[in-house]
Chain A
Amino acid sequence: MPGKLKAKIVAGRHLPVMDRASDLTDAFVEVKFGNTTFKTDVCPKSLNPQWNSEWFKFEVDDEDLQDEPLQITVLDHDTYSANDAIGKVYIDIDPLLCSEAASVISGWFPIYDTIHGIRGEINVLVKVELFNDLNRFRQSSCGVKFFCTTSIPRCYRAAMVHGFVEELVVNEDPEYQWIDRIRTPRASNEARQRLISLMSGELQRKIGLKVLEMGGNAVVGYLQCFDLEGESGLVVRAIGTACTLDKLSSGSAPNTNTHVHPNTAPASNACNSPSKDGKEPVFGEDLPSFSGPPTPFRALPTSSSSPPPFSPSKPCSRQSSSSDTDLSLTPKTGMGSGGSAGKEAGPLKTLLRQQTQTALEQREFPFFTLTSFPPGFLVHVGGVVSARSVKLLDRIHNPDEPETRDAWWEEIRQEIKSHAKALGCHAVVGYSESTSICEEVCILSASGTAAILNPRYMREGCLDIGSTDHRFEEPSPPSCGFCHIPYDELNMPFPAQLTYCYHCRRQKVPDVLFTTIDMPPEAAVTGKGCLIQARLCRLKKKAQGEVNATAISNLLPFMEYELHTQLMNKLKLRSMNALFGLHIQISVGENMLLGLASATGVYLTALPAPGGIQIAGKTPGDLSNEHHILTIQKRINDTITKNKELYQINPPELTEEVVGSPIPEPRQRSRLFRSHSESSDELSELDLSHGKKDAFVLEIDDTDAVEDIHSLLTDAPPPTGFYSCNTEIMPGIYNWTTGVQMFTSVRVFRLSNANLTNQGLNKIFTDLCENLLKSFYFKLRSMIPCCLCHLNFTVAVPEEELIQVAVTAVAMTFDKDQTQEKPADKPVTKGCSETEEQLQFPLELCADSSSITTQTSSKISGVPESTNVSPRVSSLERSSPLPEGRSRSLRSNRSFGGSSVPVVKMTPLSFLPGTRIIKYLGIINMFFIRETTSLREEGGVSGFLHSFIAEVFAMVRAHVAALGGNAVVSYSMKECVLMENPNKNQAQCLINVSGDAVICVIETDQESMPSTINVVQTCSSGADGAT
C-alpha cells in the first residue's frame, strides 16, 4: 500500500445559476480517483456553497498516483431528474509525489466545463502520504523530477547528464469510437480529456522508470506532444534529457566560477545564463557508487558498470532499444579523429570516443533536448542536422500498438545520428521532434545541432571550485571555441569556406553557423541580434494515399532548399553570420505545404564578416533590365547599410592577411544536412552555392526571382524601441528590467481565391506573419524599450483554404540607457515598479480591493473588523457597527474573507528577469477541449477562441497558485487545434500547454546583487586573463 491520497472540498464561489426558478444552485461535489468516488453533502440554495467536507481518503498504488488525475465534479442536485453537472476540475497530483516539489495543493480552481467554459470556482485541499516502497520490481517512478526547461534548472546542479529518454503511448481516440455516435459532445470531450491526462501520466511514469534505470533523478527539457491521428489513434510521445540533479542550498552556493565573458557579464546576466548567482551546475559523474579522487578516464565507473538499481519485471519500453547498437557513435577515423583541426583535438577526440562508447552501452542516441549548457560543456558546434519522413497512417498494421510509430522515430533518429557523425560530431544538442498530420498523411520531423561535448564534464564529480582552472587547459576560449569546426578540414564533410577564428586566430571557423540551440552566454557578439524568418507556401495537388505521400516527399527537399536560401539571404541582408534557435516547421494541408523557419540572427565576432549580396541578370545585354538590376542592387546595399546601423554591427576592421584561407575552395558554400526517408537512403545534401568569395550572387532569371528579391526587402524592421528574437534572450541586450508580458496570439486566414499561385500564396503567408509581428509591436508599445523574446510561431493548415498561425512569446522590458556592455549596477526597474510589486511573494493581488470585497460581504453577514489593514478599510470604521460574533464567523469563512487572487507570472523563458527561482514545484502539463454549439452568440470564432485561451491561462495560473507558486517558466502552448463549422454554429478547440511551476523571489539589490556583481567582475577579469 504505497500511498494515501487525501482530498478536502472546502467551498465554492461564483457558481452559475442552475435552478431558474430560484436563481440559485443546490451544489454538491463528487471526488473521484481511480475507481473510488466520494460525495459531499448538498449545499442547498447557494451560489457560494460552503461544504467544508471531511478528508476523503484514497488508498492507492503509487503507479496509479502517477497515472491518474484527481477528478472533481461539481453537480447541481435535482430531486426529480438526473443531477446536472456544473463542471470539472482535474488535478495532477504528480507534484506531490516528489519531496522537493510541492507538499500540498490548496487553492481556488476554476470549475471547467467543455461546453460552457469556466463556471465558478472551487476551493480544494489535496495531500499525499507516500510510504517507502521497498519493492525492486516496481512500476512507478515517483520522485523523478520533470522540467520543461531546456537548461539545467536554476536551483540545481547537474551532477551527471545521462542522456536521451523517449517514450510513446498509443490509445484509441474516444472521438473515433463507435460510442461517440450516441453520447453527448460533453461526454466525448471529457472522455478525451481524461484519456489524455491518463496517457500523459503513464508516459511520465514510464520515462521516469527509464531515468531511474539510468541512475538519474530528473528529466530536463521534457517535451511532450500529442498526435491526433484520427482513425488510427491518439499518440502521446515525449522526449527529454535524463540527468542527476543536486539541489543547491541557496546560502552555500559557491560563487567562484561564474564563466562570464565581459560582453555578457552585466548584473542581469544572473538571470540569463545558468550560472545565476554563481550556482554553477557542472556536468560530471557523481554516482553514489563513485568515491575517491577522480580516477583516470579508463577506469571510470559508469552507470553501466554498477548494478542496475531497478530491474523492471516487464520491459518498460516498447522501443526497440536493444537493436541497432552496432551503429556506434564513435566518429569514424576518416571523419573525426583523423587530422583534427587543433592540436588538442586529437587526444580530446580519443577521449570522447571512449567516453561515448561506455555511455553507448546504455543509451542509443547521444541526443540532448537542452538548448543551453553550463559553460565549457559545449566544445564545438557542427551545424544543424534534420530529418523528415512522410508516413501513411492508414498503413499501420496494428494501430493500437506503438511498435510502428516507435520504428518510424527510430529510423529518423538514426538518420540524425548519422548526419551528426558526418559532421564529425558525436552528439546532437537542442534536439526536438515534431509531426504534421493531414488526413492519413503524417510528416515526422526531427532536428538538432551536431556538436562535440566536453567529456571532462562527464568524468569529474563536483567541479564547483575547480572548473575555473580547467579553462586554462581548454583548447579554445569559451567566447569563440564553440564556433571552431569539429570536422577535419582536409576531409570536410561538405565544401565550406574556412578562415581562422577572428577571435582567437588559432583555429578554423566556418563562414556561417546555423544552430538550433540558444546562443552560449559566453559567446562574443557584435551588435544586437534579430528575428529572421523564412516563409514558404507550396501548392500541391489533392491526392490520396501513396500518391499523396510521394508528392509531399518530392516537394520537401525543394522547400527545405528554398527556406534555407531565404534564411541565408535575410541573414546577409542584416549583415549577420550566425543563426541560433533555428526551428523549421513544415506543415501539410490537403492542397498545400507550408514552411516556416524562424531563428535569431547574430553577428558572431569569431566568424568572418558576411559578404554583401550581388544581383546578376541572366541576359546582360538588355539595357532596361540592366538598369532594373542596378536599382535593386542599390536598394539591397542601402538595406544592408541601414541594418548595420539598426543592429549596431560595427565589427573591428581586420587586416586581409589574417583572413586568408589555406583551402583553395573557390566557392563559398554552406550546407544544411537534411534528408527524408521516402527518398533513397543516401543523404541528399543541399549545396547552396554562393558564388564568389565574399559576395552572394542572386540571379534574376525570371519573374519568380524578382519576386523573391522583393519579398526579401519587404520584411520591415521592428519599430524603434523594439527588438525581437526567438531565443531565450536577445544577444546584445543584457540589462532586463522586470516588465514581463506573456501572450498568445492566433490568426486564421481564409484564402478566398481558388486559383492561387505559389507566389501569391507566399505573399499572403509572408504578410500574415509580418502583420502579426506589427500587431504585437503596436499592442505592446507601452512597454518600449522592450524585446519580444522566444517568439514561437506555429503554422497549420486546419482546412483546405485556411492558414493558421499561432504565436506565443514574451515581451520584456530592458533599460535603454545601459544597453551597452557591463552596467555597473543592477538595472533596477525604472518604469516598472508596479510589476515588481506584483512579483513579491506571496503577494495578494488586490490587497486594497479585496479588502473592500470583504467589506462588501457585509451585505450578507457582516463586516470583519480586522481583515486587512488598508487605508481604505480603516476609513470605513463607522460602517461596521456589527456584532462581534458575526464578523468572527465571517473571518473563518473562506469563500469571502481574505480571498484575493495571487498574481502568477507566465513566461516561455526559463527565468523571470530580476527574480531568483528558489523552488521548482513540478511540471504543469494540461490539456483542454472546448466546444460550442452557439458560436455566433459567443462572438464568433474569435470570441470563442479568445475566451478559451483566457480560460486556459486562468486554469494554469490557478494550478500554479494552488501548488504555492507564483510563476510558470518555460511555458509553451504545444497544441492549438481549432475546428469550426460556422454554418452549424459550432466550433471545437483543443489546447495543450506545459511549463514549470516555480516560486521566485525578487532579487533585492542589497542582499544578493552586490555579491553577484563582484563575482561577475572578478570573473570577467579572470576570463580576460584566460583568453
Chain B
Amino acid sequence: MAVELDVFVGNTTIMDEEVYQLWLDGYTVNDAVKVRMEGGVLEEFEASADVLLSDTMDQYRTFQMCERLLHSPAKLANQLLFQIPPHRQAILIERYYAFDDAFVREVLGKKLSKGTKKDLDDISAKTSVTLKSCRRQFDNFKRVFKVVEELKGPLVENIRQHFLLSDKLARDYAAIVFFANNRFETGKRKLQYLTFQDFAFCAGQLINSWTIGAVDNMVEDMDVDLDKEFLQELKELKILITDKDLLDQHKSLVCTALRGKTKAFNEMEARANFKAFAFETFIEPCRSDRWTASDMRLYLTHYTNSAHILDTFKHQVVWDRYMGVIKSCIFKMYHD
C-alpha cells in the first residue's frame, strides 16, 4: 500500500501500554510490529499487518511528541496539546523514568558526563539493552541529577515533586544521584554480584544517616554530600582499634556473647579484631567462609552492643550512627 499519509488523533490521546513499552525499549517501528504480531494481538482481534503497522506508527509519533513534555513531567499536567487522563499521565511518566537494572548497574557511581555517554554503545552491547533505551535512561539520570543538584530540601522529595515519580522510583533516583555525586566505585569485580537494589538500599541508609541532611534539612546538596563533621568524628572511633585495651575488651565481650550460639564461632573469634568495616575486609572473607546470614546478623548485633558496655568508649552517638548504617548495609549486601 502506497499510503503517503496516515494519522489518527483522538480527543483523548490513545496510548497502548504495550507499544509504549516497546518504544521505551528502543524498538524500531518494524521490530515493534514483529513483536506485537508474535504477541498475538492479530489473532485476538482479526486485524491485518497493515493495521498493526499503521497503529504502531501512530503511537510512536504520539510518544515522540510527548517526549518533550516528559522531560519536565510537571508540564504534562498543564499542557493543552494532549488530553490525557491523570492516571495515564502517571503511567507515562513512571514508565519513562523506569530503567533497566542491568543498565543502571553499569553506570552507577560513574560521572554522568559526555564521556560516559560515549561509552553507552559498549554498555548497550554488554547489557543487551538497545542503545536508544540506554540513551533515554542515561539522559534521565543526568536530567534528574542536574535538577536536584541545586535544590534545597530532602533529595527523595525533590525528585518526587519535580518528576512526579512514585516513592519507590524517586528513592532509586536518589540513590543514583547519590552514587554519581560521590563516585562510589561499584564496578569492581568483587562487587559484581551485588544488584542495583542492594546499592540503592545502602544509598538510602547513607542518605538517611550520614549526610548533612540527616542533621540539617535546609542546606543545598544536603542529601548528596556526606556530613563532613561526621566523617571527622568517625576518625575518633578508631580508638576501638588503636587503643589496645579497648580492642581486647571489646573483643572478649563479643566473644562471650557469641559463645555457644553459632557453629562458626571459631572464625568469628578470629575476626573479632575489628577494623573499620570495609567491603573487602569483611564481607568478602565472610562470604568465602560461608557464614550464614543469621550468623552475620548475630555477630553484628553483638558487636554493636558490646561497644556500649565498654566504659572507656566515649563516642556512643557516633558509634550508633556509624554502626546502624553499617549493620543494615552489610545485612543487605550479604547474600549470594
Contacts and interface: CB of A to CB of B under 8 A. Distances in A.
Contact of B78 (A746, A774, A855, A901): A901
A946 B65 contact: yes
Contacts of B3: 747-750
Nearest to A876: B157
Interface in A713-756: 719, 741-752
A949 B2 contact: no
A879 B7 contact: no
Q: By DSSP majority rule, is chain B's interface helix, strand, loop, or mixed? A: mixed
A14 B75 CA distance: 8
Contact of A747 (B5, B52, B79, B83): B5
B4 interface: yes
A743 B65 CA distance: 18
A939 B57 CA distance: 11
Contacts of A13: 78
Given A749-B1, A846-B77, A742 B11 contact: yes
Chain A contact residues (Cβ within 8 angstroms of B): what range? 35 or more
Contacts of B90: 848-849
Interface stretch (B40-48, B189-197, B282-290, B304-312): B40-48
A18 interface: no
Interface string A764-783: 00010001001111111100
A849 B4 contact: no
Nearest to B81: A954
A118 B82 CA distance: 12
A946 B74 contact: no
Given A775-B8, A941-B4, A941-B5, A852 B161 contact: yes
Contacts of A850: 77-78
Given A749-B2, A858-B161, A939-B64, A853 B78 contact: yes
A846 B11 contact: no
Interface in B30-83: 45-48, 50-52, 54-55, 57-58, 61-62, 64-65, 74-83
B85 interface: yes
A747 B4 CA distance: 7
A900 interface: yes
Given A750-B2, A878-B154, A856 B51 contact: no
A620 B86 CA distance: 68
A879 B79 contact: no
B102 interface: no
Chain B contact residues (Cβ within 8 angstroms of A): what range? 35 or more
Interface in B145-166: 151, 153-154, 157, 161-162, 164
A706 to B, nearest CB: 24
B157 A879 contact: yes
B155 to A, nearest CB: 11
A310 interface: no
B11 A748 contact: no
A853 B77 contact: yes
B77 A901 contact: yes
Contact of B77 (A742, A771, A849, A945): A849
A874 interface: no
A488 interface: no
Contacts of B129: none
B6 interface: yes
Given A741-B10, A747-B6, A901 B45 contact: no
A466 interface: no
Given A774-B47, A849-B164, A953-B83, A741 B11 contact: yes
Given A849-B89, A941-B5, A978-B5, A950 B50 contact: no
A777 B14 CA distance: 13
Which of A743, A856, A954 has the most chain B CB atoms closer than 10 A to its own CB? A856
Nearest to B9: A949
A947 interface: yes
Contact of B83 (A778, A802, A855, A957): A957
A14 B76 CA distance: 11
Given A118-B80, A939-B61, A946-B65, A848 B86 contact: yes
B86 A746 contact: no
Which of B6, B50, B80, B164 has the most chain A CB atoms closer than 10 A to its own CB? B80
Contacts of B162: 856, 859
Contacts of B57: 942
A859 B151 contact: yes
B218 interface: yes
B17 to A, nearest CB: 10
Interface in B72-112: 74-83, 85-87, 89-90
B77 A900 contact: yes
B109 to A, nearest CB: 27
Contacts of B4: 748-750, 802, 941
Interface in A874-923: 876, 878-879, 881, 899-901, 903-906
A899 B45 CA distance: 40
Given A747-B3, A778-B55, A838-B85, A852 B164 contact: yes
Which of A743, A901, A945, A978 has the most chain B CB atoms closer than 10 A to its own CB? A901
A846 B86 contact: yes
Contact of A950 (B46, B55, B64, B65): B65
B12 interface: yes
A942 B54 CA distance: 11
A947 B58 CA distance: 11
A881 B11 contact: no
Contacts of B157: 876, 878-879
A719 B44 CA distance: 11
A834 interface: yes
A661 to B, nearest CB: 43
Contacts of A941: 4-5
Nearest to B12: A741
Contacts of B74: 852-853, 856
Contacts of A838: 85
A211 B52 CA distance: 51
A394 interface: no
A778 B45 contact: yes
Given A749-B2, A859-B151, A946 B77 contact: no
Contacts of A370: none
A21 B90 CA distance: 34
A14 B79 contact: yes
A110 B79 CA distance: 9
A748 B83 CA distance: 26
A632 interface: no
A157 B65 CA distance: 45
A741 B11 CA distance: 7
Given A719-B46, A859-B162, A878-B154, A744 B80 contact: no
B83 A744 contact: no
B125 to A, nearest CB: 29
Contacts of A748: 3-6
A360 interface: no
A943 interface: yes
A853 B78 CA distance: 9
Nearest to A901: B78
Contact of A947 (B2, B52, B65): B65
B83 A903 contact: yes
B7 A745 contact: yes
Contact of A108 (B51, B76, B80, B217): B80
A743 B5 contact: no
Contact of A855 (B52, B58, B161): B161
A958 interface: yes
A750 B14 CA distance: 27
A774 B48 contact: yes
Contacts of A879: 153-154, 157, 161
Contacts of A780: 14
9 contacts: A14-B79, A745-B7, A749-B4, A771-B51, A778-B55, A846-B86, A849-B77, A849-B89, A859-B151
What 3 pairs across the A-B complex have the smallest Cβ distances?
A: A748-B5, A846-B86, A849-B77
Given A804-B5, A845-B77, A950-B9, 9 more contacts: A775-B54, A838-B85, A849-B89, A900-B77, A901-B77, A906-B11, A941-B4, A946-B7, A946-B58
